[in-house]
Amino acid sequence: MRPSPGGNAMIEVIEGDITALAVDAVVNAANSRLAGGGGVDGAIHRAAGHATLQAACRALGGCPTGEVRLTPGFALPARAIIHAVGPVWQGGGANEEELLARCYRNAMAMAMANAERLRSLAFPAISCGVYGFPPERAVPIAVREVRDAMTRSTTVERVIFCCFDAAMAARYRAELARSGATSPP
């Protein structure tokens, strides 16, 4: 863990299970129906209590790509879930990079808007699973958006990029070191 460029806030990379993290909010790589699907979305729904989370999500009425919605964390160690709807990769010509950037930007803005209770959050690699976004393009976007938000935030104290495997964690660590946000351990 190293300080972000904005001061005392920390950016960290781990390989592990995002549903087990004791943070204020986990970011869910959600679908637009907020219905709980495969990958990290399904894992978060199962760990939070599928029926309870599903009812809360249904009440929100969905979420457009690039946007976020907030629910309680229910049975998760996290007190809240920020549902971010990432883009499906279509070859790069359908504004996917900007839509992905909006996911990270809007998730950070949601945390800052709820500063009294959301000071630490964990992100998965949004859109890099079944949505097919190439990690070599997604990771720099994620790091840039989180780093930039943290330079403006006085409330977010810790951000974790929680990766599903060692290769993805190494990619995040390398990008953080390259961007000057942190250095590898």
For the stretch 24-67, pLDDT in tens is: 999 999 999 999 999 999 999 999 999 999 999 999 999 999 99
pLDDT of residue 7: 53
Q: How far apart are CA 62 and CA 79, in angstroms?
A: 21
Q: What angle do CA 82, 4, 72 make, to 5 degrees?
A: 15
- Given 17, 24, 41, 148, which residue is catalytic? 41
Tokens of 42: 């399904």
The answer to whether the predicted template modeling score (pTM) of the entire model surpasses 0.85 is yes
Mean pLDDT estimate for the chain = 94
- Cβ atoms of 124 and 29 within 8 Å: the answer is yes
- Report whether pLDDT(95) > 70: yes
Q: Give the containing element (helix H, strand E) for 136.
A: helix 135-152
* Confidence label for 5 from pLDDT (cuts 50, 70 and 90): very low
What proportion of the chain, given as a percentage, has pLDDT over 90? 89
Strands (E), the chain: 2-3, 10-15, 25-30, 68-72, 80-85, 120-123, 158-163
Distances in Å between the alpha carbon of 141 and those of 21, 103, 171? 23, 10, 12
Q: Are 29 and 41 in contact (CB under 8 A)?
A: yes
- CATH superfamily of the domain spanning 2-179: Leucine Aminopeptidase, subunit E, domain 1 (3.40.220.10)
pLDDT digits (tens, 9 = 90+) for 120-137: 999 999 999 999 999 999
What are the CA-CA distances from residue 21 to residues 24, 40, 80, 123 (Å)? Answer: 9, 13, 12, 11
Q: Looking at the predicted structure, is the pLDDT value of residue 138 above 70?
A: yes
Predicted local confidence at residue 9, as pLDDT:
78
Tokens at 133, concatenated: 């976004």
Identify whether the C-beta of residue 157 lies closer than 8 Å to the C-beta of residue 119: yes
Of 154, 152, 143, the C-alpha closest to 13 is 143
**Domain limits of the chain?**
2-179
Q: Would you put residue 25 in left (φ > 0), alpha (ψ -120 to 50) or beta? A: beta
In the residue annotation, 41 being an active-site residue is answered as yes
Contact in structure between 68 and 100 (CB atoms under 8 Å): no
pLDDT at 184 over 70: no
Q: 123 near 172, Cβ under 8 Å?
A: no
